[in-house]
A and B are shown apart, each in its own frame.
Chain A
Amino acid sequence: MSAIRFLARSSLRRTQPALRPNNTVQIGRRHVSFYNSDVAGLTEEQAEFRNAVTEFAQKEVAPRAAEIDKTNNFPSDLWEKMGDMGLLGITVSPEYGGLSLGYFNHTLAMEELSRASGSVALSYGAHSNLCVNQIHRWGTDDQKKKYLPDLISGKKVGSLAMSEPGSGSDVVSMKLRADKVDGGYRLNGNKFWITNGPTASTLVVYAKTEPEKGSKGITAFIIEKGFPGFSTHQKLDKFGMRGSDTCELVFEDCFVPEENVLGPLNKGAGVLMSGLDLERLVLSGGPLGLMQAAFDYAVEYVHDRKQFGVPVGTFQLMQGKIADMYTKMNAARSYVYAVARACDDGKVSRRDCAGVILYSSDRAVEVALEAMQCLGGNGYINGTIFLYILARSTKVPFSDYPVNRILRDSRLYTVGAGTQEIRRMLIGREFNEEFKGRS
């Protein structure tokens, strides 16, 4: 039915003639992606998995990305949809509702969701990897039975908290105290920059059970939203990743029962660090998806936009940008995929888990910046209030030039889940260790 094909590809341009000149990339249509599956080297099953996630992300998430960014509101209704889709427990055993797939698949899902919306994907990563995967890796059978099904069905949102106002990169210096009391622990202190903090019902929280022992006195706990003495402060207004809610957690004599200790007592640093390797890997899907979104948009735009009578994409300066963006994106993807495959083979390399997120994050910021430049003046526009109001009143999905949102979102990965500086230190230190005593 040619009419369907036409309409699927046609824009709303006729309803907004003044706002949407012919040279803008059309909204409301599914964009062709220049993801190269042959080069990506996906197996048939991985390609099928990716297709299913793409379908979901492009239909359910992408049309809402601009509005989520604008309003800074977490789309909680998406969580059950993701649960139904089977996205929330990719690495978890089917016993608790998961798919029992590997980190490669999880990274693919993270990438495809990020291509649709950076912020939804960030909350997804915090939920499905940081919280769910940690509980699955370290929880007792009772803990898993109690918490995982609701997290994996999307009935509840999960979160993980390690940073504090005074402990970012130096995470081991955390001050949150957990004092032993009868039947459990009493927590006092704060956690800061906590993704999903305002929305989460189940949180993995690290605290000092023996503060004087430093890194050997940390223990992980599972906190429920309703625990007396636990509260959250107002959510933060962020530069990007808007709609992925972030806030401070406050513990005031918060009692946590004994059975909510996650993993071995005082060995929380091990729980934390081993989780961080996989977290860095899975979150690397974020920069990949953002880069793909920025690239797909920009490459289409420069072939649509005409100056001097020809598409600007045929000018050498633009060709240069497109070539560099494409190459950076694919180089980053190859590295991420290679490390993900190794992790699924049981070979988790700390320096490479840090390496993939270090490399892909920097490339994502560069690609997003270049994409913005490709859009010229349009790349600098945040959006028009008129379009937003029109969208609200007509229920047309609100959409705008997305590249500046992608740029803002991509910046998160250079500081979130560890700073670039810490990642570099970590990789350098790994080599220092290896050469220790040789000279």
Chain B
Amino acid sequence: MRPTASRLLNILVPVKRTIDYAVKIRVNPDQKGVDLNVKHSMNPFDEIAVEEAVRLREKLKDAVKSIKVVTVGPPKAAETLRTALAMGADSGIHVEIPDSAPAPEPLGVAKALRAVIEKESGGVDLVILGKQAIDDDQGQTGQMLAGLLDWPQATFASKVVVDAGKKEANVTREIDGGLQEVKAKLPLIITTDLRCVSLRSLSVQWLILNSLHHSLNEPRYASLPNIMKAKKKPIQKLTPADLGIDLTPRIETIKVSEPAKRVGGGKVESVDELIAKLKEAGITAVKA
């Protein structure tokens, strides 16, 4: 399905509209979901993916033929597409589902993405997407899509170098042991990570707080002129039926509950008291 004659890259970036990362999540009284009547924005991992695609074009210039963004979601998900278009993508595809429909699951989304990719007349050489969405934390879509297409995958990327001529990419992944560099032929699925942050400095919390912006890249703002230009960029609307897929969830949500409230600590007067308390709590020293 990949164009062999052309040496130009077509990049597809799937994005998801999620509850804004700064919003405090409230569980609905029926305990089947959370209050969605709050500020939404693009999943931060996807923002990094869009930014990476735009940077690839800035680096590879004309070798990147198109950057298309795609979302599967309710009517309002179009706003997320517009943000991505304002950041520099060329066009969008909105697989629209009704507001009343349940949130699709990773397998459904991966199948929808496969169908979109198969419909693309120019083919797709590179799919860059966030490694997970911050709402349901599934972290599966990229991998499932690679499986469905039988394409290579480079997950949790912290650095991406694409050789457009050779049609291959070197991707650095941050893993427990350090950095792992993998090389893969295009077409390829890349999922983007936030970069790890040194945990040693005093300002560590602030750094993590801002790690979204010290990541693979720092996602750019959609500037006002670009937002206005983005209104003229095309968005194609599709339904799951157009793609011949069924997004009905296969998993039933039984209960959603808030994390247990932290119980406040107490002060101890001496080391002995501390040890006594630890023992009381069932915490004992590990015997070497």
Binding site for B on A (CB under 8 A): 1-2, 4-5, 7-10, 12, 14-15, 28-30, 32, 48-49, 52-53, 55-56, 59, 84-87, 90, 99, 394-397
Q: Could you tell me the distance between the alpha carbons of A90 and B225 in the complex, rounded to whole angstroms?
A: 10
Known: A1-B132, A4-B134, A5-B134. A12 touches B22 (CB 8 A): no
Residue-wise, chain B 3-39 has the 8 Å CB interface mask toward A (1 for contact) of 0000000000000000001111100000000000000
Interface set, chain B 196-246, CB cutoff 8 A to A: 201-203, 205-206, 208-209, 212, 221-228
Task: List A contacts of B24 (CB < 8 A).
Answer: 9, 32
Give the residues in chain B near A397, CB-CB below 8 Å. 206
Chief secondary structure at chain A's binding surface: helix
Q: A9-B22, A56-B221, A394-B201 are in contact. Are A48 and B227 (CB under 8 A)?
A: yes
Q: Which residue of A lies closest to B137 (CB)?
A: A1
Considering residues B24, B134, B221, which has the most beta carbons from chain A within 10 angstroms of its beta carbon? B221
Which listed residue (A28, A52, A59, A90) contacts B222, Cβ 8 A? Answer: A52
Whether the pair B205, A15 counts as a contact (CB closer than 8 A) is yes
Q: Is B224 touching A86 in the complex (CB atoms < 8 A)?
A: yes
Instruction: List A contacts of B132 (CB < 8 A).
Output: 1
Central interface residue in A28, A59, A86, by most chain B CB within 10 Å = A86
Question: Could you say which residues of chain A place their CB within 8 Å of the CB of B208?
Answer: 7
Report the minimal beta-carbon distance from B28 to chain A, rounded to whole angstroms.
Answer: 17
Between A and B, 30 residue pairs with Cβ closer than 8 Å are A1-B132, A4-B194, A5-B22, A5-B134, A7-B205, A12-B205, A15-B205, A28-B205, A28-B206, A28-B209, A29-B22, A32-B22, A32-B23, A32-B24, A48-B79, A48-B82, A48-B227, A52-B86, A52-B222, A52-B227, A56-B221, A59-B221, A84-B223, A86-B224, A87-B224, A394-B201, A394-B202, A394-B203, A396-B206, A397-B206
How many residues on the B side are at the interface (Cβ–Cβ under 8 A)? Answer: 30
A400 nearest CB across to chain B (Å): 15
Chain A neighbourhood of B106, CB < 8 A: none
CA A2 to CA B44, docked complex, whole Å: 12
Contact B205 A4 (CB under 8 A): no
| Closest chain A residue, CB of each to CB of B228 | A99
B205 contacts which of A2, A14, A52, A85 (Cβ < 8 Å)? A14
> Which chain B positions have C-beta within 8 A of A2?
134, 137
Q: Which of A7, A10, A52 contacts B224 (CB 8 A)?
A: A52
Shortest Cβ distance from B230 into A: residue: A48
Name the B residues within 8 Å of A29 (CB-CB). Answer: 22, 209
Most buried by A among B86, B208, B223: B223
A201 to B86, CA, bound (A): 32
Minimum CB–CB distance from B228 to chain A (whole Å) comes to 7
* Contact partner, A5, options B25, B203, B205, Cβ 8 Å: B25
Q: Are A52 and B221 in contact (CB under 8 A)?
A: yes
**Nearest CB in chain A to that of B225: its residue:** A86
CA distance A5 to B223 in the complex (A): 25
User: Within the complex, what minimum Cβ distance (angstroms) separates A127 from chain B?
Assistant: 16
Tell me how far the C-beta of A183 lies from the nearest C-beta in chain B, rounded to whole angstroms.
Answer: 38
Looking at A1, A29, A30, A90, the one whose CB has the most chain B CB atoms below 10 A away is A1
Contacts of B45 in A (CB 8 A): 1
Distance in Å from the Cβ of B285 to the closest Cβ of chain A?
25
Report Cα–Cα, A55/B22, bound state, in Å.
12
Q: Measured between C-beta atoms, what is the minimum distance from A197 to chain B in Å?
A: 28
Q: Is the CB of A4 within 8 A of B212?
A: yes
Residues of A within 8 A of B202 (CB): 15, 394
For B228, list chain A residues within 8 Å (CB).
99
**Across the interface, do A85 and B209 meet the contact criterion of CB distance under 8 Å?**
no
**Residues of chain B with a CB closer than 8 A to A394's CB:** 201-203, 206
Name the residue of chain B whose CB is nearest to the CB of A11. B205
Q: What B residues does A5 contact at CB under 8 A?
A: 21-22, 25, 134
Cα of A9 to Cα of B132 in the assembled complex, Å = 20
Most A CB contacts (10 A, CB to CB) among B201, B224, B228 go to B224
Nearest to A81 among chain B residues (CB) is B221
Residues of B close to A87: CB separation below 8 A: 224
- Interfacial chain B residues near A32, Cβ < 8 Å: 22-24
Q: Using Cβ atoms and an 8 Å threshold, which residues of chain B touch A84? A: 221, 223
A315: min CB distance to chain B, Å: 23
Tell me the complex Cα distance, A53–B22, Å: 17
CB distance from B155 to the nearest CB of A (A): 15
Q: Which residue of A lies closest to B38 (CB)?
A: A32
**A49/B227 in contact, CB under 8 A:** yes
Other contacts beyond A87-B224, A394-B202, A395-B203: 10, CB < 8 A? A1-B132, A7-B209, A15-B205, A28-B206, A29-B209, A30-B22, A48-B79, A56-B221, A99-B228, A397-B206
Question: Are the C-beta atoms of A55 and B206 separated by less than 8 Å?
Answer: no
Smallest CB–CB gap between A62 and chain B, Å? 12
Supposing A2-B137, A4-B21, A32-B23 touch, asked if A85 and B224 sit within 8 A by C-beta, the answer is yes
Shortest Cβ distance from A27 into B: residue? B206
The answer to whether B221 touches A1 (Cβ under 8 A) is: no
In the complex, what residues of B have CB within 8 A of residue A28's CB?
Answer: 205-206, 209
Q: Is the CB of A55 within 8 A of B221?
A: yes
Considering the chains assembled together, what is the distance between the CA atoms of A29 and B205 in angstroms? 11
By the criterion CB–CB under 8 Å, are A8 and B206 in contact? no
Complex formed: what's the CA distance from A394 to B134 in Å? 29
| B residues near A99, Cβ cutoff 8 Å | 224-225, 228
Taken together as a complex, chains A and B put the C-alpha atoms of A84 and B225 apart, in Å, by 9
5 cross-chain pairs, A with B, having the tightest CB-CB distances, nearest first: A86-B224, A30-B22, A394-B203, A86-B225, A396-B206
**CA separation between A9 and B134, bound complex, in Å?**
14
CB closest chain-A residue, reference B206: A396
Nearest residue in B to A3 (C-beta to C-beta)?
Answer: B208
> Assuming A7-B209, A9-B22, is B224 touching A49 (CB within 8 A)?
yes
